[in-house]
Amino acid sequence: MAIASAGTATGASDISAGGQTLTWSFTNTAATNLMVVAGGKGTANGEGTISSVTYAGSATGWEERWEDSDESWVTGGCWTNVNGSLPTGANDVTITFANGTATQLAGIACAFVGDGALSLGATATPTTSDTGTTPSVTMSSDTGRLVVGAIFTDGNEITGRTGTLPSGTAEISNIGSDVAIGVQYYAGAASVTAQWTTSGSNGGVCGAFEIIETGGGGRTTKNTRGYTLGVNVGMGHRMPV
Amino acid sequence: MPERDIKQSGDTVKYGIVYVFDGNRNVVRSYKISLAEHDEIISGKSRIPSGVTQEEWESGRASMVGYAADEGEYLVGLDGSLLVVLEDSEVDGKLVRKEVTVQPDAFSGKDSTLSLTKSVDLAGSKITSLSIVDGRAVWQ
């Protein structure tokens, strides 16, 4: 596989109440890459929204891949940028949140590069978990592709994962002594399940999507087979209220 | 028993807080910065917040958060709950916040001299009770 991780950087808050933006530095090494930002926030009292992502102050090219909330505790989501014109070097990532009263905020910026141009394939329907300690999301993919999964959980700590961590720091646990965020990736296959193990069993949300390489050894056509995306695995419970 | 007036905050950022972490993600210092500086940073004009070294910022050991609620203000959650910021103080170079979430059913059918019992523990500072009397928050 010619698609490779090209670094990560994390941002997080500590105290709570009213957080609206989260900013941290990410060093981008290649102009023609794909950047992923998995952002999340704990919402002690309802669903919120990730309203925008910028890099070096620009929102150009950023698109939401998925976002979901367990409607009682956390909101998580993933944004990507494949416009090929991101500035290189150390620049700031900013996630802006809207609605709700944000408590803990967290984000992970990841870059992926390939021998050829990278584009996006399918996106799994995200899954939510309120009591499970092995949250997961399953999607169909194909060989030669990369599946990137991300999680934001109130389960305090990520203690295990079944995929590969991107280079750098791709997980943070015990943010504000409360929540955790993580990104991992898998080689594409007919069915890929991104799964984590968490120390706690409160709310969480996880999602996944494909990266496709064009002209560098990967498949060049989008997977159009009729697999059902976003199969929930082991997440049939709701958090007590 | 401390008390203060409270008022509703808007949804826009009013100031920033910079967090600097150690290698184990423990906060080693945190402090407020102005809204103007926050806005300059997220606009890409001024990349590194004041008080943070270039190494701390670019190594990922620092983050900046824009906050909407200041001391004495509350935010209304989507479910109608109130998140009240009672007090900000600095202890050993770290910002310590006392806050409490008041659930919406706590107000239903209650007298205007509402008294709630809550227990929150933030950075070792425990609030054991909160009363809201004619728009003033009283806690201990």
DSSP per-residue codes, B28-93: EEEEEEEHHHHHHHHTTSS-S-TT--HHHHHTT-EEEEEES--TTEEEE-TTS-EEEEEEEEEETT
Residue of chain A nearest B88, judged by CA positions: A15
Rounded to a whole number, what is the distance in Å from the CA of A222 to chain B's nearest CA?
35
B17 near A CB under 8 A: yes
- Give the pairing of strands B7-8 and B73-76: parallel
B84 — pLDDT class (breaks 50, 70, 90): confident
Rounded to a whole number, what is the distance in Å from the CA of B61 to chain A's nearest CA?
8
The answer to whether residues B96 and B122 touch, using CB atoms and an 8 Å cutoff, is yes
Contact check, Cβ <8 Å, A16/B99: yes
Contact check, Cβ <8 Å, B58/A90: yes
- Region of poorest pLDDT, from A40-44, B4-8, B59-63, B109-113: B109-113
A59 near B CB under 8 A: no
Contact check, Cβ <8 Å, A11/B63: yes
pLDDT in tens, B19-42: 999 888 888 999 999 999 999 999
Q: Which residues fall within 8 angstroms of residue B92, CB to CB, at 6 or more apart?
A: none
More confident residue, A211 or B80: A211
More confident residue, B17 or A175: B17
More confident residue, B97 or A67: A67
The answer to whether residues A239 and A130 touch, using CB atoms and an 8 Å cutoff, is yes
A108 near B CB under 8 A: no
pLDDT at B68: 85
One pLDDT digit (tens) per residue for chain A, 241 residues: 588 888 888 888 776 667 889 999 999 987 667 888 888 776 655 567 888 999 999 999 999 999 988 766 788 899 999 877 888 999 999 999 886 566 788 899 999 988 888 999 999 999 987 768 899 999 999 999 999 999 998 877 999 999 999 988 899 888 877 788 999 999 999 999 999 999 987 788 999 999 999 875 444 444 433 333 333 333 334 444 4
Interface of B with A in 47-76 (CB under 8 A): 47-48, 57-58, 60, 62-69, 73, 75-76
pLDDT at A234: 35
Cα atoms found within 13 Å of the Cα of residue B72, Cβ hemisphere only: 8
Q: What are phi and psi of A25, to 5 degrees?
A: -95, 140
For B78, other C-beta atoms within 10 Å of its C-beta total: 15
CA distances from A146 to A104, A166, A196, B62 (A): 29, 12, 17, 30
Residue B106, classed as helix, strand or coil, is: helix
For B126, other C-beta atoms within 10 Å of its C-beta total: 12
Smallest Cα–Cα separation from A23: which of A79, A106, A81, A112?
A106
ipTM for the predicted complex comes to 0.80
pLDDT at B107: 57
Q: What are phi and psi of B47, to 5 degrees?
A: -85, -30
| Chain A residue numbers touching B97 (CB-CB < 8 A) | 15-17
A74 near B CB under 8 A: no
More confident residue, B69 or A119: A119
A92 near B CB under 8 A: yes
Does pTM surpass 0.95? no
Rounded to a whole number, what is the distance in Å from the CA of B1 to chain A's nearest CA?
23
| Chain A residue numbers touching B81 (CB-CB < 8 A) | 44-46, 101
pLDDT at B53: 95
End-to-end CA gap in chain A:
46
